[in-house]
Structure 1
């Protein structure tokens, strides 16, 4: 009887140790997972390239694509995802202000020159009174679109409005342009209905546009605007120094990823140098 009891104790101890070991191993595995919410192009594509590099160091990168500009921030704020990769800093700051969220920049990865692309017309010289131009309707991207139009002599904005500019801040509109304000992902879908569309880089790519070949006008790569709108890895405040996040940013800023960006996007996406 004593031998049987002893045997049972030993087996039970080994079983507990085994299960504990499994749990520790499972937790270690879970700790090496990074979840990121991203726009499809180019963000998710760039992240796909990072997966292999991260895997070499034992990290699993899980990427989920979103087609809007709200959910990726919401799921990071809630803790459902570790990070997102789809937005520039002015949009992040405005979102925090409007939505009372607590998201921060964990690292700048690339920027995308904003461009004016042809719709029913191919050159800005073809504009006539009453033409329609489609622009994004979120605060910072609409301002960026309007500033680009101003730089190209289409409109004049009120002095000092900067990144707060809306169509209400237009003080001179010699062509009497009408603006169709749409959610960012929808702008490219009206190219056959308006004279021009103004797009940020990822939506231009998704629409099949090339910055170098198709843009009527775009922000210069060395412009202050391009640097201001660097796309970042965003996380909830307090998580920016997490091991997985730091490793993700390190890989996305690596020479391998820079080379991929430069060879893939024809100037529509440019690696950001700190």
Structure 2
């Protein structure tokens, strides 16, 4: 009889324990389901992707700053990398220090990628910075004297670009057959005003203006130097082929975060931002 009672007691205890354990399991499952629901309600919580983009300080980095909040909403932490020497942004991309860069136009990229062995791809055209002719001594192009000293950028693609601008003004004539977006003063066929050309690093041209009759200067450098871009005596028009582009390593074109970067940079909001902030100095290319 005693053994029978003990057996009944043991069964009862086991039933109670089973109920407790079942309850714990249900609580655990409920907790996990709740956590999953909370995770889903927070979108990309905990899954944010950092995208490093190398850029020139003005206007490129400023435009990237404008789209930062939009990308943040899409789970992308945009990290903007600016370097004192913009020429290092392509090596940085090659060495995977950054995911993309935004500072150059296609003629410039074409002029160096074969020499350096870069395997890069262009994913979006964003804006044109019409290159212009600036002077501290002259009020108009008509005042340019014979024998004037004119500063021009000394990198191949921008030097060609500067010379083409001067040709459009009827100041010089280049040799026929220049098809590689590269030229130097040696490629001038006609120089009726005996202009003297001073080839210099683009960044130094604003400081050299007092010693020159004028200089052809890239707009981003004009902006960085505090020169009013409206003071250009003449400039490229909006049909310039020198649109500034997003460049990535070949094969990265289809990365989701790169596509979202391109979409954000070519949105109506960015177009409005560029027009409002920069006026004639920067022209949307989309």
For the aligned pair, the TM-score class normalised by the smaller chain equals 0.7 to 0.9
Distance of 1:272 and 1:80 partners within structure 2: 27
Q: In structure 1, what is the equivalent of residue 232 of structure 2?
A: 215
1:164 counterpart SS class: coil
The alignment status of 1:170 with 2:219, answered yes or no, reads no
Q: In structure 1, what is the equivalent of residue 281 of structure 2?
A: 268
- TM, length-normalised to structure 2: 0.80
Q: 1:105 aligns with which of 104, 118, 122?
A: 122
Q: Deviations over 1:166-185 (max 9, x none)?
A: 11101111222111111222
Change (3 A) 1:30 1:198: farther
Distance of 1:60 and 1:78 partners within structure 2: 21
Q: 2:255 aligns with which of 242, 251, 257?
A: 242
Q: Deviations over 1:166-223 (max 9, x none)?
A: 1110111122211111122222221111111101221122222344x211111111x2
Q: 2:246 aligns with which of 196, 214, 233?
A: 233
2:211 counterpart SS class: coil
Distance of 1:168 and 1:68 partners within structure 2: 27
Instruction: State whether residues 48 and 77 of structure 2, in contact with CA within 8 Å, keep that contact through their aligned partners in structure 1.
Output: no
Report how many aligned residue pairs link the two structures: 241
Q: In structure 2, what is the equivalent of residue 131 of structure 1?
A: 148
Change (3 A) 1:207 1:101: same
The alignment status of 1:193 with 2:206, answered yes or no, reads no
1:61 counterpart SS class: strand
Please give the root-mean-square deviation of Cα atoms over the aligned residues, in Å: 1.6
Alignment of 1:154-169 (within 5 A): 154-162=171-179, 163-169=181-187
Distance of 1:200 and 1:144 partners within structure 2: 10
Q: Identify unmatched segments of 5+ residues in structure 2.
A: 1-44
Instruction: State whether residues 67 and 185 of structure 1, in contact with CA within 8 Å, keep that contact through their aligned partners in structure 2.
Output: no
Distance of 2:126 and 2:56 partners within structure 1: 14
Q: Identify unmatched segments of 5+ residues in structure 1.
A: 1-27
2:198 counterpart SS class: strand
Instruction: State whether residues 131 and 217 of structure 2, in contact with CA within 8 Å, keep that contact through their aligned partners in structure 1.
Output: yes
Distance of 1:258 and 1:61 partners within structure 2: 19
Alignment of 1:1-274 (within 5 A): 32-162=49-179, 163-211=181-229, 213-221=230-238, 223=239, 226=240, 228-273=241-286
2:114 counterpart SS class: helix
Change (3 A) 1:230 1:56: same
